[in-house]
């Protein structure tokens, strides 16, 4: 059995095991530590015994036993047996409480991690750590902050959950609308991290396990699965529908996005590799959103992706419609990143000079964002300003965290 096989299983099962133990134990630190211990046991046993038929159940059982041992070992003398007995009952599954409209441990944990008592950046970090199984170093890289800063954020968030007695459950139906926007924001970021991973392997795999990965499909799949559950909770709310459509239309292009370890940009992708079933489902969801008539940021982004997926060849892309959708998005949810993407559409319609002028007006806001430098480099290249393009590509390569993206940028720079 290869280390890659172990890594794949660990990534797929980490969130499930932590979520199950968190619900049963009511203790995030204990759930996370016990899961890590179970993964270490698997590293020792599975290469010899093989991966069990149900690796998630195996890891949950071992992690539960590790947690039980810790309670017995660290608990106070007069209460440790009572605590251990209670936990044993919970791990046997006979002491679970109703979880809300949908009984799903991972969805419970998402709503717990995304509680409004926590700051947004802490919600995202905690969800990526516990549900996605990312290391603190990976999350720190994604947020462009020092690792120690991110570790402190996650620790504070877990302590606040404990101190505020935030329950591990899906909120009651009446409370869902007020809570769902925060959950959607986090699921969107989890999907993005999976779709273009930072490329740092989880430490449980070992430093020499495999080359860095460009895409973490298990994070994309989990974000889509959880978003489907949110849609089932609020079937007539347009933004969950829009986010699901956006994810599906994006995921439909995943197989064509990385070839031989190098990113393939949308204009160069083999569109015959796109997943037609996902595109059809995404288009149907966009039409449902349009029928509701309350456009929001996820719906508009989904509509933009739908236009791209409509074009059987890049030359058939309706850039005027894409620019119009970005105009709407700038009204609903203005940001420098949206403005950058709009500038790309402007460049396609009005030429690279017009696009570059818009891009350069964003320099102060996006100086630490690799896509800003990559976009600027491409426009400079198209204008024949090779020296400036070379410098912009160098900055983009330095800031990009994904190996496939770095390979593509390096190739484009060499072509100058």
pLDDT in tens, 362-379: 999 999 999 999 999 999
Residue 333, SS3?
coil
- Alpha-carbon span 345 to 48, nearest angstrom: 54
pLDDT (average), residues 19-32: 84
* Residues whose CB is less than 8 angstroms from the CB of residue 52 and which lie 6 or more positions away in sequence, other chains included: 46, 58
Q: List, in sequence order, every beta strand (DSSP E) within 239-305.
A: 258-259, 262-263
pLDDT (average), residues 186-208: 58
Q: Which of 6-15, 36-45, 55-64 shows the lowest mean pLDDT across its residues?
A: 6-15
Q: Exposure string (b/e) for 170-206, b if CB count within 10 Å is 16 or more?
A: bbeeeebeebbebbbbbbbbbbbbbbbbbbbbbebbe
pLDDT (average), residues 247-251: 97
Q: Is the pLDDT confidence value at 264 over 70?
A: yes
Categorize the per-residue pLDDT at 18 as very low, low, confident or very high, splitting at 50, 70 and 90: confident
Q: CA 390 → CA 39, 265, 340, distances in Å?
A: 44, 19, 20
| Residue 16 vs residue 103, higher pLDDT | 16
- Tokens describing residue 287: 């039409």
**pLDDT recorded at residue 352:** 98
Categorize the per-residue pLDDT at 101 as very low, low, confident or very high, splitting at 50, 70 and 90: low
Query: What is the tally of helices (H) and strands (E) in the chain?
Result: 20, 2
Q: Which of 45-59, 86-100, 267-281 shows the lowest mean pLDDT across its residues?
A: 86-100
pLDDT digits (tens, 9 = 90+) for 131-186: 777 788 878 876 767 899 999 999 988 888 888 888 777 777 777 777 888 889 88
* Residues whose CB is less than 8 angstroms from the CB of residue 138 and which lie 6 or more positions away in sequence, other chains included: 128, 198, 200, 202
**pLDDT recorded at residue 93:** 46
**pLDDT recorded at residue 125:** 85
**pLDDT recorded at residue 197:** 60
**pLDDT recorded at residue 180:** 87
**pLDDT recorded at residue 3:** 55
- Tokens describing residue 312: 């059987």
Categorize the per-residue pLDDT at 62 as very low, low, confident or very high, splitting at 50, 70 and 90: very high
Q: Is the pLDDT confidence value at 238 over 70?
A: yes
Q: What backbone phi and psi angles, to 5 degrees, belong to 262?
A: -120, 135
- Tokens describing residue 175: 């409370």
**pLDDT recorded at residue 208:** 31
- Alpha-carbon span 268 to 283, nearest angstrom: 22
Q: How does the average pLDDT of the chain come out, rounded? A: 84
Superfamily in which the 340-416 domain is placed by CATH: Tetratricopeptide repeat domain (1.25.40.10)
What is the percentage of the chain residues whose pLDDT exceeds 90? 44
**pLDDT recorded at residue 75:** 65
Residue closest to 18 by CA, chosen among 39, 2, 3, 4: 39
| Residue 299 vs residue 192, higher pLDDT | 299
Question: Domain limits of the chain?
Answer: 1-96, 340-416
pTM comes to: 0.74
pLDDT (average), residues 94-99: 40
Categorize the per-residue pLDDT at 96 as very low, low, confident or very high, splitting at 50, 70 and 90: very low
Categorize the per-residue pLDDT at 77 as very low, low, confident or very high, splitting at 50, 70 and 90: very low
What's the distance, Cα to Cα, between the start and end of the chain in Å? Answer: 43
Categorize the per-residue pLDDT at 214 as very low, low, confident or very high, splitting at 50, 70 and 90: low
CB neighbourhood size of 234 (10 A): 16
Q: Is the dihedral of CA 343, 344, 349, 350 positive or negative?
A: positive
Q: List, in sequence order, every beta strand (DSSP E) within 249-324.
A: 258-259, 262-263
Q: CA 28 → CA 12, 32, 162, 184, 254, distances in Å?
A: 19, 6, 8, 22, 33
């Amino acid at each position: 059995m290869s280390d890659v096989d172990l890594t794949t299983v660990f990534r797929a099962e980490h969130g499930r095991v932590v979520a199950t133990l968190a619900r049963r134990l009511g203790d995030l630190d204990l759930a996370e530590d016990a899961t890590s211990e179970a993964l270490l046991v698997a590293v020792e046993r599975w290469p010899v015994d093989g991966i069990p038929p149900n690796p998630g159940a195996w890891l949950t059982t071992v992690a539960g036993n590790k947690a039980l041992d810790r309670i017995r070992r660290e608990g106070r003398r007069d209460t440790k047996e009572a605590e251990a007995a209670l936990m044993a009952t919970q791990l046997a599954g006979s002491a679970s409480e109703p979880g809300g409209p949908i009984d799903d441990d991972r969805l419970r944990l998402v709503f717990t991690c995304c509680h409004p008592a926590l700051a947004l950046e802490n919600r995202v970090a905690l969800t990526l750590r516990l549900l996605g199984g990312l290391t603190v170093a990976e999350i720190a890289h994604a947020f462009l902050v020092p690792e120690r800063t991110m570790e402190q954020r996650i620790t504070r968030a877990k302590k606040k959950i404990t101190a505020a007695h935030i329950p591990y459950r899906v909120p009651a139906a009446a409370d869902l609308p007020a809570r769902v926007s925060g959950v959607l924001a986090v699921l969107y970021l989890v999907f993005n991290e999976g779709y273009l991973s930072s490329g740092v392997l989880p430490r449980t795999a070992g430093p020499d396990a495999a080359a860095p990965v460009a895409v973490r499909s298990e994070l994309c799949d989990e974000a889509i699965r959880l978003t489907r559950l949110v849609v089932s909770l609020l079937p007539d709310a347009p933004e969950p529908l829009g986010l699901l459509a956006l994810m599906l239309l994006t995921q439909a292009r995943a197989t064509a996005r990385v070839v031989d370890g190098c990113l393939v940009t949308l204009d160069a992708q083999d569109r015959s590799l796109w997943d037609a079933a996902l595109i059809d489902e995404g288009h149907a969801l966009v039409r449902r959103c349009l029928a509701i008539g309350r456009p929001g940021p996820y719906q508009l982004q989904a509509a933009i992706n739908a236009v791209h997926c409509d074009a059987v060849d890049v030359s058939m892309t309706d850039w005027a419609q894409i620019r119009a959708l970005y105009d709407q998005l700038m009204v609903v949810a203005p940001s420098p990143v949206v403005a950058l993407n709009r500038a790309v559409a402007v460049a396609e319609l009005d030429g690279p000079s017009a696009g570059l002028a818009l891009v350069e007006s964003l320099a102060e806001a996006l100086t630490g964002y690799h896509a800003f430098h990559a976009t600027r480099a491409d426009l400079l290249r198209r204008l024949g300003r090779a020296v400036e393009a070379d410098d912009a590509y160098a900055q983009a390569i330095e800031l990009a965290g994904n190996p496939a993206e770095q390979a593509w940028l390096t190739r484009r720079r060499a072509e100058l």
